Structure 1
Amino acid sequence: MSLYSVLIGRPLPKSSAGQERLPRLEALPILSSDALSSVAYATEAALGVLILAGSRALSLSLPITLAIIALITVVVLSYRQVIAAYPQGGGSYVVARDNLGRNVGLVAAAALLIDYTLTAAVSLMAAGQAISSLIPSLLHHEVALTLLLLALVGWANLRGLREAGRIFALPTYAFVVMIALLTLVGLHDLVAHHGFRPDPPPLVTSMEPLGLFLILRAFSSGCSAMTGIEAIANGVQVFREPAPVNARQTLLVMGGLLALMFFSVSGMGFLYGIAPDPNVTVLAQIGTKVFGPGTPLLWGLQISTLLILVLAANTAFSGFPLLAAMLADDRCLPRQMAWLGDRLVYQNGIGVLLAGTALIIWVCQGDTTVAVNLYALGVFTAFTLSQLGLLLRWWRQRGEGWQGRMLMNALGASATFVVLVVIIISKFWEGAWTVVIAIPLLVWALAAIRRRHREVAAAMVPDPLIEPLYLAPVEAPVQHQAIVWMGGLTRATLEAVLYACTIAEQVTAVMVVGDRDDPGQISLDWDRLVGADSGDLQLKLLVSPYSSVIQPFCAFVREQETTHPERRTTVVMPVAVSDNLLDRFLLNQRALYLYRALSAQGTHVFSVVRTSLEPVQPVD
């Protein structure tokens, strides 16, 4: 067994994909850890802005919390409608693409890809800072520690969904239990001893006037509690069947838990007169007031907070690969982003997210100060576009109850758009400008990849005017068979088949069909292009029990070489060649993997048939 198999696990058959999907109790911690962990810092983020206007301004924290909870309610109900309308998953990207147009959909996708990457980086850097706060000797090793945490989260996700569910369930539920204990013990103290009259916060001199813009800034900072809400709508495929029903129920539970926990922390912070402290978090101050300093319950609260901050990054590792796979299916990213790995996860997407997150951690040197100002911008862009998309959807369909749905989505779109504008204006020079620039650049890149894929597809369409491909038998060397790799019925593939017919008396064109392929239609297209009576030219369709398409083809080649040792076997591989630099990343990826796999098993005769791409106007 290879080292990779030891670390990641043995390949899983595709028949176990349903078993790899998760029940609600395991899916909830995987997809909700980001949203629920925001309880640890959302209240503090709002207080950190209000304190600029002096201690008296902290009294506005409770109304701001209630306004954010109202917004959370609207967004959660909106995404329940997204799941019902789009049960295959996709969230903001699919809603925007289908209702606002493909290019607007790419804006939502770009915003989410950036947000997922920043979410993973911010969560892990915050966890690294939490560990160094508990153990000061680790202060100078925060970057290495954070990268280690990143590697552990990535490793757990590469092993598959069930592995991640088992690892991440306990800490997430532990955090929920500790917040529930904090609430219950705090209520007992408020009723029996303290009373509900708020304590005055520490006296702090005003640095800015208390005005509408500062209140909106505090509101937008507190809205960091909403990051991660859409992960469940993006990850419907993670749930066991009936997946849409389970996803909608889980989203409702997550929204309820988030609202209750957020209100509890903000309410106790208000009643106990808590003010932001650069050395002690707001949640730790509340825990000290309720549980007492140095108590086991306080340590339990802090440790569970630390763990869920680490696990918050897992939401990104669930959402980013799924979104990247959808973009690859839409030909907006290289196709290998949609390849399902041996552990039935999108391992290429996980790898890209690992690299991007590690780069941000290294650039920020483990400090969340800059990154935390950026990662809410992407999610509110996605929120706004998804609700605008649903608003147009209800207007066009005008089904039962469409007016109420339109009103809710109009309110949600307006509120999230206001928050988005406030974030851009208030945090532009604090680093938000990088995301404002990065989103259009990423949209341009996604559109360029999509355009190039269309150009390649148009250039590779077989000519319907030519005669059937199979010609009269050509004199070929005796004892020679050719096996042609077919990734699809393209001009490059058919040219490779034609070449194989000139060098061998027995030619087999092999295609590994996936779950979305129709073998009957493939056979009909083959007969139309090649000819129904093709003699010694055969089409072989293989069905793989696993996600890999390389392994079944290699096994077929090995079987033919073993069964017919008297024959010389040539593997013919079609490749498309182009002067376009982008095509090096978009084309022939499976051919490269196939060559390496066949070489490793001992196959030693290959013929590469190169088909040049000619500029062709793409057909929409």
Structure 2
Amino acid sequence: MAKFGVWIRRILIGRPLPSWRAAHERLPKFLALPVFASDAMSSVAYATEEILLALVVAGVAATENLIWITIAIAALLAIVVTSYRQTIYSYPSGGGSYIVARENLGTTAGLVAAAALLIDYTLTVSVSIASGVANLASAFPLLLDHRVEVCVVFIAFIALANLRGLRESGTLFAIPAYTFIVSLTTMIVVGIYKAATGQLIPVSHMDTISVQQPLTMFLVLRAFAGGCSAMTGTEAISNGIPAFKPPESKNAATTLLIMALVLGSLFIGISGLAQYLHILPKHSETVVSQIASMVFGRTWFYYVVQFAVAMILVVAAQTSFADFPRLSSILAKDRFMPRQLANIGDRLVFSNGILVLASLSILLVVKFQGQVHKLIPLYAVGVFLSFTLSQAGMAVHAWRLKEKNWKISMAISAFGAVITGIVVCIAFITKFTQGAWIVGVLITASIFLFTKINHHYRTLADQLRLPAGEPKDLLLQEVHNTVLLLVPGVHKGIIPALLYASSLSQDCRGVYIETDPTDTPLIVERWEKWGMGIPLVVLESPYRTLLEPILRYIEEVKKDRARHFVTVIIPEFVPAKWWHKLLHNQSGILLKWALMFKRDIVVTNIRYYLEK
């Protein structure tokens, strides 16, 4: 059975990689782009739609502001990217917003940034997968009724791909990422050409859209905040610098610049075409699908675009699977998360972090039924909160070091912090009732959890610290041991346990639990012959339970032997075939669980292996 499990594990995940292979698993720029930038690039698939959803309530005329809002967001993107490039060179060990905020603004600010990022990464997986399925459903409406199941399958697939290793997952997801870039670039170029030559006719909505509220500055700011979802994932590269091939910082900074140029170009192109064509959001069809349909018709290339968008949205989750485990490992090393998250798995990835992220993302998708617009309100707050703290931290960093051109660096980071801070406030206020408050609660709860975990580890370290005195003060203490050998019956299988028990201590006794009084005389008779002179204690069990009598007896022994260890020896035989285990009681396992956390009690299993 164990060999079968290992065989399945090898097929799904692959053979373990030695530590010296870590350098070979690092990513070149062309693979790092799909791994760390897919989230940011994929955001253009729904960012334009989020702006339109905010503007359309003021009527069709209000959507004419789409391109200007898009350009403003692109300008903010340039500021944020400039700040993160500074972060990459200043903090080459990775950690991004968490490290920057912790080092320059204090531990609490760092934990806020970390909590916001971890929540953001979880939401990224859920939003990206749900958006990908929504795009597929635009072309294949039958998927609408099964979107939750399809989302879960995609999340499981990406988690499995990441468990196989960062380089393998990067190679696997490079094709969808570059297909997305080429197909959307083609759509934009062909769309601009057809618009310039009069081959594209804008849609008329004059008689179908009513004005629900006037176009105010607050509405424009709300649209701006919604469109800023295009910037999600921008920080990912700064978190994963150690995953790049040397020179790490230079390669990471170059990849970040390429990502920003691609993201900005696609975002402006899609918004420009959407405004020219008078595209409005529909429940059953995405904005990108409408543009592709008008540019190409329902030809084969329309389906290429839809498939590419769906795949990049799915692949966008890859960014989170690359960064969530890495950030969790940094927090674990700082003792703010469980130590297990710092462990590197068989394939040189943080396997535990990958599994945690997959589980949380599936819970979100199921909770919100895979609906993108229910998840988006939770999305922007955490992202821009981490942006704000990171840029504020970099502004302080520049002011402290006062290196060359530090005033320019500080001004850029400070301005970016102010703008992204405004976006946080707008997003939180406007989307509060839609669920943004949940993010605030989750961040607060996460910080509380971080501090409790850290307190535990610090308390643990204090308790385990060796005293300043001589070692003999501790090492020369006398240790006493009382041994209790559980006697299920007197047979050949108990002999190894009997020999082991007698070797541990002179204070040794056998313990038999009497569930049927008629069996006791034979047990006592055999014990007198085979028990090596060890006394046998018979415990009555009128209710035929095994646990209560032995637990009660152990407590009595502990009172009588206050300064003794009590070693409980449980004999057990191991069947030759796995299914034979189903034919026997598992009382030994239950007893081990019951005694696991008892003070000064040692539980030992002595196994007797059956040959057939």
Matched AA of 1:110: A
Instruction: State the alpha-carbon separation in 1 of the partners of residues 281 and 369 from structure 2.
Output: 24
C-alpha spacing 1:15/1:409, structure 2 compared with 1 (3 Å): same
In the alignment, structure 2 segments of 5+ residues that lack a partner are: 1-5, 479-502, 505-573, 575-595, 601-612
C-alpha spacing 1:609/1:119, structure 2 compared with 1 (3 Å): closer
> Which residue matches 1:202?
205
Identify the match of residue 219 of structure 1 among 212, 216, 224.
224
Instruction: State the alpha-carbon separation in 2 of the partners of residues 471 and 217 from structure 1.
Output: 68
Cα distance, 1:50 vs structure 2: 0.6
C-alpha spacing 1:6/1:55, structure 2 compared with 1 (3 Å): same
> Which residue matches 2:465?
461
> Which residue matches 2:314?
310
Moved more, 177-186 or 54-63: 177-186
Matched AA of 1:445: L
Instruction: State the alpha-carbon separation in 2 of the partners of residues 135 and 200 from structure 1.
Output: 23
Cα displacement string for residues 468-494 of structure 1 (whole angstroms, at most 9, x for unaligned residues): 68979x9xxxxxxxxxxxxxxxxxxxx
Cα displacement string for residues 230-253 of structure 1 (whole angstroms, at most 9, x for unaligned residues): 010011121111111110100000
Cα displacement string for residues 372-412 of structure 1 (whole angstroms, at most 9, x for unaligned residues): 11111101000000011111111111111110001101110
TM-score, normalised with respect to structure 1: 0.75
Alignment partner of 1:337 is 2:341: yes
Matched AA of 2:37: S
C-alpha spacing 1:609/1:441, structure 2 compared with 1 (3 Å): closer
> Which residue matches 2:392?
388
**2:165/2:348 contact within 8 Å kept:** yes
Tell me which structure has the larger Cα radius of gyration: 2
> Which residue matches 1:443?
447
Instruction: State the alpha-carbon separation in 1 of the partners of residues 471 and 398 from structure 2.
Output: 50
Cα distance, 1:106 vs structure 2: 0.4
C-alpha spacing 1:401/1:19, structure 2 compared with 1 (3 Å): same
Cα displacement string for residues 59-80 of structure 1 (whole angstroms, at most 9, x for unaligned residues): 1001100100000000111100
Identify the match of residue 33 of structure 1 among 31, 38, 60.
38
Alignment partner of 1:67 is 2:72: yes
Alignment partner of 1:352 is 2:356: yes
Alignment partner of 1:49 is 2:50: no
> Which residue matches 1:107?
112
Cα distance, 1:155 vs structure 2: 0.3
> Which residue matches 1:123?
128
Identify the match of residue 280 of structure 1 among 285, 291, 297.
285
**1:340/1:347 contact within 8 Å kept:** yes
| CA RMSD, 1 decimal | 2.6
Cα distance, 1:609 vs structure 2: 13
Cα distance, 1:216 vs structure 2: 0.3
Instruction: State the alpha-carbon separation in 2 of the partners of residues 104 and 397 from structure 1.
Output: 20
Give secondary structure in 1 for the equivalent of 2:43: helix
> Which residue matches 1:259?
264
Give secondary structure in 2 for the equivalent of 1:176: helix
> Which residue matches 1:397?
401
Instruction: State the alpha-carbon separation in 2 of the partners of residues 471 and 52 from structure 1.
Output: 77
Cα distance, 1:463 vs structure 2: 0.8
Identify the match of residue 420 of structure 1 among 421, 424, 430.
424
Identity of aligned residues (%): 43
Instruction: State the alpha-carbon separation in 2 of the partners of residues 176 and 66 from structure 1.
Output: 20
Q: 1:56-205 counterparts in 2 under 5 A?
A: 56-193=61-198, 199=202, 201-203=204-206, 204-205=209-210
Instruction: State the alpha-carbon separation in 2 of the partners of residues 611 and 27 from structure 1.
Output: 51
C-alpha spacing 1:287/1:130, structure 2 compared with 1 (3 Å): closer
Cα distance, 1:283 vs structure 2: 1.1
Alignment partner of 1:295 is 2:296: no
**1:55/1:201 contact within 8 Å kept:** no
Cα distance, 1:370 vs structure 2: 1.6
Give secondary structure in 1 for the equivalent of 2:16: coil
TM-score, normalised with respect to structure 2: 0.76
Cα displacement string for residues 562-595 of structure 1 (whole angstroms, at most 9, x for unaligned residues): xxxxxxxxxxxxxxxxxxxxxxxxxxxxxxxxxx
Matched AA of 2:136: I
C-alpha spacing 1:609/1:218, structure 2 compared with 1 (3 Å): closer
> Which residue matches 1:324?
328
Q: 1:445-594 counterparts in 2 under 5 A?
A: 445-467=449-471
Give secondary structure in 2 for the equivalent of 1:431: helix
In the alignment, structure 1 segments of 5+ residues that lack a partner are: 475-501, 504-598, 600-607, 613-620
Alignment partner of 1:10 is 2:15: yes
**1:201/1:275 contact within 8 Å kept:** no
**2:127/2:375 contact within 8 Å kept:** yes
C-alpha spacing 1:286/1:138, structure 2 compared with 1 (3 Å): closer
Cα displacement string for residues 329-350 of structure 1 (whole angstroms, at most 9, x for unaligned residues): 0000111100000100000001
Cα distance, 1:272 vs structure 2: 2.0
Matched AA of 2:321: F
Cα distance, 1:321 vs structure 2: 0.3
Identify the match of residue 406 of structure 1 among 403, 410, 414.
410
C-alpha spacing 1:115/1:609, structure 2 compared with 1 (3 Å): closer
C-alpha spacing 1:360/1:464, structure 2 compared with 1 (3 Å): same
C-alpha spacing 1:224/1:609, structure 2 compared with 1 (3 Å): closer
**2:40/2:316 contact within 8 Å kept:** yes
